[in-house]
Amino acid sequence: MADKRKVLVACGAGIATSTVVNSAIEEMAKENNLNIELVQIKIAEVGSYVDTADLLVTTAMTKKEYPFPVINARSFLTGIGVEDTKKQILEELKK
């Protein structure tokens, strides 16, 4: 089995939207047997994970560049394009 991948889930305040996104990804991981560790944080805290994280899924996009891919998670809230977002996340995690 591959190493456990660390997925950051971030929103602006770390209280509202990341909670919903976190739970959606948790479910997705179960369905697809993904070995991941989810870390729910505020976007301002991403800096402390640059060396350890594999992916950032966020509703608070920034212009900042990170050493890992960043996926916009808004579709988990509105339902529009959610299948595409899920596919994107799965592709990243299966790499």
Partner 1 sequence: MTELYYDQSIIQVDLDVTSNQEALENMAATMAEKGFVTESFKDALINREAAFPTGLPTQGVSVAIPHTDIEHVIKKSISVAILKKPVEFGIMGDLDSTTPVKIIFLLAMDETHAQLVLLQQLMQVFQNEEQLTYLANQKDKQNIKRFLEEELGFTLKGGE
Active site residue 62: no
Residue 77 vs 90, nearer CB to partner 1: 77
60 makes contact with partner 1 (CB under 8 A): yes
- 28-54: buried (b, 16+ CB within 10 Å) or exposed (e) per residue? bbeeeebebebbbbebeebeebeeebb
Residue 34 vs 73, nearer CB to partner 1: 73
33 phi-psi bin (left φ>0, alpha ψ -120 to 50, beta other): left
50 makes contact with partner 1 (CB under 8 A): no
**Phi, psi at 89, each rounded to 5°:** -65, -45
Q: Report 11-40 residues binding partner 1 (CB under 8 A).
A: 11-20, 22-23, 40
Catalytic residue among 11, 34, 36, 60: 11
Active-site residues, by number, are 11
